[in-house]
Structure 1
Amino acid sequence: MFMLGRPTDQGAQTLWMAEAARLLGDLPHDILAHSIDEAIKVSRHGFMPSVGEIRGIADPLLGERRTHIDRLSRMAAALNDAAASQGRSARRHDARLHADHGER
């Protein structure tokens, strides 16, 4: 088990940092930086929070990011669908005609 407190062995510290980087390497930089900052603010054992504390903050943010990406991807696909675009154009045209004639 690795613990980062006040390591005196440079090799152990290097190994710990490599392991932490491996375990956190899948996170986008902005989420990682924010999560580290927040974990440091509430860390119970000093400056360097554990990987688990960082992941506890980062994972929900990553899930939210994936949801947003999925929604935006579906919106982009719908906008690129020619048939759907023609349908939207026709509905907008009809709505303008109704608005011009006072119908709703």
Structure 2
Amino acid sequence: MHVVRRPLSDYLRFEFERYYQHQAPAGEDIHILDLTDRPNLLPDHVGDYWMFDRSTVVLMRYEPDGRQICRELYEGDPAPFIEYQRLAVAASVPFLEYVKSE
């Protein structure tokens, strides 16, 4: 799942072309949630995170300029993050469908 707004940054275009464009046809399930023309359905405090096996959450921390500072293991209940994922997936489209519409 990748949440984006247009125009895409140079880095996102690079990531789409060099990684997603090859991984999606190979079977990786990549979804895009484009918030350019819609409100964000996730709470404002929800940042970037990884979730493993719907039980372990790792929070990603960034500098204001977008450089990653660190990753932090979330020690709380993963239930809110499972719900955030459910909402985002329901509103997203598969990567290959997204790039066809661009």
The TM-score, its normalising length taken from structure 1, stands at 0.23
User: Where is the helix percentage greater, Structure 1 or Structure 2?
Assistant: 1
User: Where is the strand percentage greater, Structure 1 or Structure 2?
Assistant: 2
Which is higher, the Rg of structure 1 or of structure 2? 1
- Which structure is higher in RCO with an 8 Å CA cutoff and minimum separation 6? 2
